[in-house]
Amino acid sequence: MSGNTQEDLNALDDEAFRRTVRAWVEANYPPELRNPPKRLHWAENSPWYFRLAEKGWLAPGWPKEFGGMGLSPAKQIILIEEYERHGVARTNDHGIVMVGPLLIQYGTKAQQERFLPPILRGEHIWCQGYSEPNSGSDLASLRTEAVLDGDEYVVNGQKTWTTLANDANWIFLLVRTDKAAKKQEGISFLLVPMDSPGITVRPIVNLDMHDEFCEVFFDNVRVPKDNLVGEPNKGWTMAKALLGFERIYLGSPRQSAYALVRLRLLAERMGVWEEPDFADRYARLRLDLEDLKALYETFVAQLRRGERLGPDVSMLKVIQSELFQRITEAMMDIAGENAGLLEPMGGNRDLHPSGLFINARPCTIYGGSSEIQRNILAKNVLELPG
């Protein structure tokens, strides 16, 4: 359908590719969805999902034979940079980002043929069942279990922080299939339809009063054994292999850059922009942002060269999430009583210190908390004992 376009894209040099992406995004992205203050639900972001699907741009990283764009890492990064620049919202993209790569790498041909096309058509909306109430930072201790009974697994347990489970019709699960093995070695990957009898979804309202996350309960849910991906008990290894790209995505300077622009607008509105104490604080944040961008670029350059990212990429997420938080804390400090308002000041979405402050809170918790990222730096980069 758009095979020629994709070949042309791969042949373009980086700058020409960037211009092509920019022009198309500006012409096609729904303007009312730029920089949404909250994660969008499927009902809101599906028009954009279908527009990407129609263009053939839905799966930049998938090889072409599976319906992807087959872009090089360098071009994928440019694509992401252009989306961020324009304030393009994330879609319900777990099928694209997680399930697709999982099945392309580890799935059977039958699984690939069954599951990949519905993702590209926007028929299967996936969510990720990893965390559990007692297994957050210590994910490998997860206890939701799947027991083989004839040709089916019987699943019991509970997942939590399941992003947009209330939009999804499929979930990919990490489940315990061997309780006797070492905790990382008894885990498998299982694909489960959300309309299976025994599944209950309960949205969780967050501090931003939004139901982005859900709890998902499994009560004797029967799943055909063909829905297991790869070998049994190898789920942990596969899950770790899928994490590479997420780790740099969460370190992208985009949130901090977005917030810093709003900090300046707020400072001007509050009449403190010219004040020396504020100017120094702003300068510090601005320099932190510029240096974060420079550091981010060094990791991006590794990907461009086709290298695998090492554990030191953990520092990106620590710096970016904590910088984002510090910028929003500066907003709260200068906003006076406006810091306590629930809604944007005067209805202007760019002036909403409390909203951004709350949005910045979970960034040091999800995707590996700052504490876990620092553990990785200490143990795997610095090789400290313990």
Partner 1 sequence: MSQALAMDESERADSIRLIRESAAAVAPRGGDLRRIRALRFEEPGFDPAVWREMADLGWVGLRVPEEKGGAGLGMGAFCALAEELGAALVPEPLIPAALAAALLAADPAGEAALGQVLGGRLLLAGWQERADTLEAPGSLDAPRLFVPMAAGAEGFLVPVREGGRLTLRLLPREAADLAIDQTQDGGNYGTLRAAPDFTGGKLVAADLGGALDAALDEAALATSAYLLGAMEAAFAMTLAYLKTRQQFGRPIGSFQALQHRAADLKVQLSLTRASVEGAAAQLDAGLTGAARRAVVSRAKARAAEASMLVTRQAVQLHGGIGYTDEYDVGLYLRKAMVLANQFGSARLHRKRFMALSPEAVEE
Name the catalytic one among 44, 246, 275, 322: 246
Residue 329 contacts partner 1 per CB under 8 A = yes
Residue 209 contacts partner 1 per CB under 8 A = yes
In the complex with partner 1, the residue whose CB is nearer, 248 or 335, is 335
Q: Least distance (Å) from partner 1 to the CB of residue 214?
A: 11
Q: Give the C-alpha distances (Å, rounded to integers) separating 59 from 93, 98, 298, 345.
A: 9, 11, 25, 38
Give the H/E segment covering residue 223: strand 213-224
Q: How far is CA 85 from the centre of its chain?
A: 17
Residue 284 contacts partner 1 per CB under 8 A = no
Let me know: does 103 contact 95? Beta carbons within 8 Å.
no
Q: Least distance (Å) from partner 1 to the CB of residue 162?
A: 11
Beta pairing, strands 170-176 & 126-129: parallel
Residue 205 contacts partner 1 per CB under 8 A = yes
Helix (H, G, I), strand (E, B) or coil at 132: strand
Residue 99 contacts partner 1 per CB under 8 A = no
Residue 250 contacts partner 1 per CB under 8 A = no
Q: In b/e form, how buried is each residue of 6-39, taking b as 16+ CB within 10 angstroms? A: beebeeeeeeebbebbbeebeeebeeeeeeeeeb
| Cα(136)–Cα(285) distance, integer angstroms | 31
Q: Give the C-alpha distances (Å, rounded to integers) separating 192 from 29, 74, 145, 171, 239.
A: 32, 34, 13, 5, 16
Q: Which of the residues 333 through 372 are near partner 1 (CB under 8 A)?
A: 333-343, 354, 357-358, 361-362, 364-366, 369-371
Q: Which of the residues 167 through 196 are near partner 1 (CB under 8 A)?
A: none
In the complex with partner 1, the residue whose CB is nearer, 144 or 354, is 354
Q: Least distance (Å) from partner 1 to the CB of residue 336?
A: 3
Let me know: does 189 contact 173? Beta carbons within 8 Å.
yes
- CA angle (361 as vertex; 250, 383 as ends), nearest 5: 50
Residue 130 contacts partner 1 per CB under 8 A = no
Segment interacting with partner 1, rule: CB under 8 A, options 2-10, 78-86, 92-100, 207-215: 207-215
Q: Least distance (Å) from partner 1 to the CB of residue 68?
A: 32
Segment interacting with partner 1, rule: CB under 8 A, options 43-51, 86-94, 137-145, 238-246: 137-145
Q: Least distance (Å) from partner 1 to the CB of residue 47?
A: 29
Residue 268 contacts partner 1 per CB under 8 A = no
Q: Which of the residues 38 through 67 are near partner 1 (CB under 8 A)?
A: none
In the complex with partner 1, the residue whose CB is nearer, 74 or 204, is 204
| Cα(180)–Cα(145) distance, integer angstroms | 12
In the complex with partner 1, the residue whose CB is nearer, 256 or 364, is 364
Number of chain residues interacting with partner 1 (CB under 8 A): 42
Residue type, 306: G
- CA angle (265 as vertex; 261, 269 as ends), nearest 5: 165
Let me know: does 366 contact 278? Beta carbons within 8 Å.
no
Q: Is 26 a catalytic residue?
A: no
In the complex with partner 1, the residue whose CB is nearer, 98 or 267, is 267
Please give the residue ranges that form the binding site for partner 1 (CB under 8 A). Answer: 131, 134-138, 141, 160-161, 204-207, 209, 213, 270, 277, 329, 332-343, 354, 357-358, 361-362, 364-366, 369-371, 374
Known catalytic residues?
246
